[in-house]
Structure 1
Amino acid sequence: MVEQASGENQQITDNLEQLLDILPETLRSHLQHHPQRSVMIEVVMDLGRQPEARFPGQAEYLSTEPISRDDLDYCIQRVSHFSGDNRAGIERTLHRISAMRNRQGEIIGLTCRVGRAVLGTTEIIRDLVESGRSILMLGRPGVGKTTALREIARVLADDLLKRVVIIDTSNEIAGDGDIPHPAIGRARRMQVARPELQHQVMIEAVENHTPEVIVIDEIGTELEAAAARTIAERGVQLIGTAHGNRIENLLKNPTLSDLVGGIQSVTLGDDEARRRGSQKSVLERKAPPTFDIAVEMLERSRWIVHEEVANTIDNLLRGRMPNPQVRTVSESGKVTITHELSTTPIPEPTPIESAPSGWRSSGRMKPVPNQVAPAKTDFNEFQTLLDASLQQQDQYGNTLHFAAGPNGEDLPLHVYPYAVSRSQLDQVITTLNLPIVLTKDMDHADVIFALRSHLKHHSKLRNLAKTRHVPIHTVKSSTIPQIARGLRRLVNMDDPGTPELVDLKLFSGSNDDDEIEALEEARLAVEQIVIPKKQPVELLPRSASIRKMQHELIEHYRLQSRSFGEDPNRRLRIYPA
């Protein structure tokens, strides 16, 4: 943990009187002496409704009289022209007036947002700003991205004496009018005539005004993302913002993913796939990130910093949790740097890729010829292991003499499920007769059973589990095989070296004879040919719903299967491990 002192106290400039001057007299007089005026966020005026003032965590009506058309016209006449994005401002202030229009284009509502210049907000990432690397600020609307951007521009221009150009599309960074607000210091500001032209102005700034730093607010289109990459490749430091709480959201956004390097599908060779323990087709980062550093502004005083965006993206694409910095600022101005808690995901099983060929014309089960000579396995030895597993299942299932839980807990084990289907959990527990009880109260849980992809984004649950010393077990997907394997592992019944017993009732949606027959065909293929003889097998053609059940059954054996052919002859091929 590192602590560093804030270099200066925060100073706030809001020019609030100029915003109040555009409001009708009744609203202005109410707000001029309001005890919370210094923290007011915005004033909302909708035609035919009571005016409203919003403060952190609360809102209150300013008048019992509804807003009239005259009230709206009074405000509109005192602000600048509304641009293509329905925003206007008050000259030489940072306030933003946004309009709502009806279908005829008439203004029927106004949102008068208070703009504040806050000096000292960048102390939390001052070292990153001074590094000369490009920084991307992420966060939900209203968390303070634009305020931070404005202060970063001032620090770079005034304190570090750099040539800074701000691309101010909505005049939010430097205020309305031809003369920019003093809050940006010596930085220069380029206005954008229409929002859709922002990417052109970005390139123009680099070509015409030789900046060392470009500051951009709200990168939101593919053209703007491409322009940002062009600027970064020319050696100019970029400071920008984008909507999205976390870097994972940006990664899933096809329009903006290029800001963090983009994603492409890559086919690995057999050796590399085995080395990584992954499938042959994987997602990888396409290019170096446009921004070297990403800052997630979760709260005004708590920011998460990814100092190496490239490493963060690579870890996310490979299923590993990143370990970013967490920077917080106390009321006294102390900046505290820690690291976010992360969990290590369970390695994926390595799928074996093979490409056998051939099709059996009869309904009898025959192995498909494989170019690789199958390894010889003593089937009697396999049958012995199967019988031993059966006896163990009988002992567990009938007498419930289970071993202790994962950490020595007494059984039955109380499990708190998160993002896993409760009905499927109940089905597996009942069918396999497991000594497990599901609970909705984490205080009484011995273990948390969670879906891995959901757990990644739930740091609060991970922290809570760590505080209460409750272990977390994850599954890759909410399917019957994954759930059954995970629950058996919890009560120490899962031996990777022992073939698993299969209760076909787990995989059949009903007692339909066709379903049971198809599942029995798949089970026999696995147990009599694929496992003992190490040869692939093709099954009879089945409907899509039955093929799905067969896929799940085969996954239960830790084997891989694929559908091929055209309906009505589409069928499964099972591959040996």
Structure 2
Amino acid sequence: MEDLLGILPKSLSNQLEKLGDILEDVEEIRIRVNRPLEITSKGIPHFLRYMPTESDAEQLISRLANFSFYALEEELKKGYVTISGGHRVGFAGKVILENGQVKAIRYFSSFNIRIAREKIGTADPYLSALHNGHWLSAMIIGAPQTGKTTFLRDIARLISTGIPERGISPAKVGIVDERSEIAGCVHGIPQLHFGPRVDVLDACPKAEGMMMLIRSMSPDVIIVDEIGREEDAAAIMEAVNAGISLVMTTHGENFRDINKRPILKKILESYAFDRFLELSRGSRPGRVTAVRDAEGNIIRTGEGVSRA
């Protein structure tokens, strides 16, 4: 959190420091001009008495730009910037268009800071569901804020590091991080712990990134989050046909839920994935409540999971 507090205006960092140990559970910080400072912890929003000012917003954007708006120009077009520590700061305000395309954002009125959580060891208990003589293709299913990205990060670390005591050697991992959320890169360099054999394409569209990795980096496993386009699905099938394992996340309540989505349904019918891990919100991120095989049959359950 030191990286985050260091980028905030003193008026805001002072308010957050008053939270003490609670700050360690904060998932999002929403800063809105002339409205109460909001923090989200364990999925529950809390509002502080402090009301951020226009001066707070100006100071924050200046710090994010390192006092150079030219340096922040591309990030402003995307609507977010990733800072040291892997935290992502989204913006809202007056949008400037050029030829129908977003050119920049001016008069910033809102910021959403998403805290990058790194929970080393989260994926360890599920090694048997992820590895069976080789790394299996796995889809991580969960609603927002169930810890999908946290879980995905730890799977990448596990694969890249290997498990010597189990005779599992480190494997090459390629991450396509379209929204700079998985690796939290700053200037292309991952800010989190991934082990020695990870290569990241930061801010790269998934379909193009998967093909680039296949052609140039010879990964054993490709990791992506949230496919949503036909070309994404085509790239996944290309990777599978090339003998590369895939680990990806998708929004959904469970296996039945994602089966209703046309793009995912095609992938499921091809049996491209060996395992499906369903997550739910709990006391920790990445709480797996069910593991399913390629046909969707439950092969392992967690606490409170119905087999229906």
Please report the TM-score for the alignment, with normalisation by the length of structure 1. 0.45
Match of 2:116 in 1: 115
1:37-436 paired onto structure 2 within 5 Å = 37-56=23-42, 58-64=44-50, 66-79=51-64, 81=72, 82=75, 84-91=77-84, 93-104=85-96, 105-106=105-106, 107-131=108-132, 132-159=135-162, 160-177=169-186, 178-193=188-203, 197-261=205-269, 288-299=270-281, 300=285, 301-307=287-293, 309=294, 311-312=295-296, 322-328=297-303, 340-342=306-308
Cα gap change, 1:53/1:154 in structure 2, threshold over 3 Å: closer, same or farther?
same
Distance 1:102 1:231 in 2: 41
For 2:222 and 2:174, how far apart are their aligned partners in 1? 5
Q: Distance in 2 between matches of 1:134 and 1:170?
A: 22
Please tell me the residue identity of whatever aligns with 2:79.
N
Alignment of 1:28-39 (within 5 A): 28-35=13-20, 36-39=22-25
Paired position in structure 2 for 1:533: none
Deviations 1:349-371 (A, max 9, x none): xxxxxxxxxxxxxxxxxxxxxxx
* Distance change (3 Å), C-alpha of 1:100 and 1:290: farther
Deviation at 1:323, TM superposition (A): 4.1
Residues 1:227 and 1:150: Cα distance change in structure 2 (over 3 Å): same
CA distance in 1, matches of 2:54, 2:46: 21
- Report the alpha carbon displacement of residue 164 of structure 1 after superposing the two structures with TM: 0.9
> Offset of 1:324 from its aligned partner?
4.6
Whole-Å separation in 1 of the counterparts to 2:120 and 2:41: 21
Cα distance per residue 1:371-423 (max 9 Å; x no partner): xxxxxxxxxxxxxxxxxxxxxxxxxxxxxxxxxxxxxxxxxxxxxxxxxxxxx
Larger radius of gyration: 1
SS in 2 for 1:230: helix
Deviation at 1:291, TM superposition (A): 1.4
Whole-Å Cα distance in 2 between the matches of residues 231 and 153 of structure 1?
A: 17
Amino acid at match of 2:194: I
Provide the residue aligned with 1:18 in structure 2.
3
Query: Matched residue of 2:109: which SS?
Result: strand
Residues 85, 293 of structure 1: alpha-carbon distance in 2 compared, 3 angstrom cutoff: farther
Determine the C-alpha separation between the residues in 1 that align with 2:15 and 2:292. 45
Superposition TM-score, scaled by structure 2 size: 0.82
The whole-number CA distance in structure 2 between the counterparts of 1:210 and 1:56 is: 38
C-alpha change, 1:56 and 1:84, in structure 2 (3 Å) is: same
17-26 or 79-88, larger mean C-alpha shift: 79-88
Q: CA RMSD in A?
A: 2.1
Structure 1 contact 157–185 (Cα < 8 Å) conserved: yes
d(CA) in 2 for partners of 1:323 and 1:62? 43
Determine if contact 1:298/1:304 at 8 Å carries over to the other structure.
Answer: no
Following TM superposition, by how much is the alpha carbon of 1:339 offset from its aligned partner in structure 2, in angstroms? 7.5
Counterpart-to-counterpart distance in 2, 1:294 and 1:151? 16
Q: Could you report, residue by residue, the CA deviation over 1:519-546 in whole angstroms, capped at 9, with x for unpaired residues?
A: xxxxxxxxxxxxxxxxxxxxxxxxxxxx
Q: Distance in 2 between matches of 1:137 and 1:152?
A: 11
**Quick one: distance in 2 between partners of 1:304 and 1:188?**
28
Which residue number corresponds to residue 534 of structure 1? none
Quick one: distance in 2 between partners of 1:84 and 1:303? Answer: 38
CA, structure 1 residues 27+165, in 2 after alignment: closer, same or farther (shift >3 Å)? same
Distance 1:295 1:85, change over 3 A: farther
Alpha carbons of structure 1 residues 259 and 18: separation in structure 2 relative to 1, 3 Å: same
Contact 2:130 2:275 in 1 (8 A): no
In the TM superposition, 1:433-472 aligns within 5 A as: none
1:326–1:43 distance in 2 versus 1, CA, 3 Å: same
**Residue identity matched to 2:254:** R
Residues 124 and 327 of structure 1 are in contact (CA less than 8 Å); yes or no, is this contact kept in structure 2?
no
Is the alpha carbon distance of 1:166 and 1:193 closer, same or farther for their aligned partners in structure 2, counting shifts above 3 Å?
Answer: closer
Structure 1 residues 158, 76: closer, same or farther in 2, change over 3 A? same
CA contact under 8 A between 1:324 and 1:339: conserved in structure 2? no
How far is 1:100 from its partner? 2.0
Which of the pair is proportionally richer in strand?
2
- What is the CA deviation profile of residues 1-33 of structure 1, one whole-angstrom value per residue up to 9, with x for unaligned ones? xxxxxxxxxxxxxxx011112222122112224
2:102 is matched with none
Give yes or no for contact 1:259–1:289 (8 Å, CA) kept in 2. yes
Query: Whole-Å Cα distance in 2 between the matches of residues 198 and 161 of structure 1?
Result: 24
Letter in 1 for 2:259: L
Structure 2 unaligned residues grouped into runs of 5+: 66-71, 97-104, 163-168
Equivalenced residues, count: 277
Gap change, CA 1:33 and 1:191, over 3 Å in 2 = same
Task: String of CA shifts for 1:212-256, please: whole Å, max 9, x gaps.
Answer: 111112212221111111101110010111111212221111132
Counterpart for residue 165 of structure 2: none
What percent of counterpart residues are identical? 25
Q: Cα gap change, 1:162/1:37 in structure 2, threshold over 3 Å: closer, same or farther?
A: same
* CA displacement at 1:305 relative to structure 2: 0.8
Distance 2:200 2:37 in 1: 35
Q: Tell me the secondary structure at the aligned position of residue 183 of structure 1.
A: coil
